[in-house]
Structure 1
Amino acid sequence: MGSLLELQELLNLKEDRIQQLEAILKVRDDEIIELRSQLDKFQSVMQFATGPATGPGKERTKKTRAQGISAEPQALKTIQELATVSQTTFPEVPKSS
């Protein structure tokens, strides 16, 4: 086992190496952040130029919408049927106590 001075020297060398590696890591992290920012910018521009993005292998299909009816039927027969149904009377049933 080495002397106290040798161990302190080794510890200082390791700490220096750790600081160097942390500096390199920070530079790489900053570069990754910058590249992601540029990628987001380019993707947003490409979306507007080419339309909405679809996933890989997925084709965009046009959706078919159901047709809704928003008014009462206007055919004469149907109107007469409605009038007949509304005038139908039902027999009275005596109430039981």
Structure 2
Amino acid sequence: MGSLQEMERLLRLKDEKIIELQKLLEEKEESIMQLRSKLDKFQSVLPQTQNTFIQGGPRKQRAQGISAEPQALRNLSDFSKTNNRRYSKSNR
């Protein structure tokens, strides 16, 4: 086991290291606060559509629809051959 002076020296070194790390932590926390403030400022200025892009994309994906003529009836003669039900207005 070391002498009392050696233990006191090691204890002082540890205390100095703790103080140094605490100062570094305070600097980092201050930097984080400043960056969060800037982020809030920029998010308030940007339109909402750009905010969704920054956050990882749109919230929901839109479905794609197909708008085209039906291919089952290719010409007018095919259409005239199909039988459609007729309903009178009184039967509704």
CA root-mean-square deviation: 2.3
Runs of 4+, deviation exceeding 3 Å: 50-55
Equivalenced residues, count = 59
Percentage identity across paired residues of the two chains: 41
Shift of residue 58 of structure 1? Answer: 2.1
Matches of 2:34 and 2:51, distance apart in 1: 23
Matched letter for residue 44 of structure 1: S
Task: String of CA shifts for 1:28-82, please: whole Å, max 9, x gaps.
Answer: 00000000000000000003xx559546332488xxxxxxxxxxxxxxxxxxxxx
Structure 2: tracts of 5 or more residues without a match: 63-92
Largest Rg, 1 or 2: 1
Q: Which has the higher contact order (CA 8 A, sep 6+)?
A: 2
Could you say what secondary structure the match of 2:59 adopts?
Answer: coil
Structure 1: tracts of 5 or more residues without a match: 62-97
Structure 2 length normalisation: TM-score? 0.55
Residue 36 (structure 2) aligns with? 36
Structure 1 length normalisation: TM-score? 0.52
Could you say what secondary structure the match of 1:57 adopts?
Answer: coil
Question: Any residues of structure 2 matched to 1:79-94 within 5 Å, and which?
Answer: none
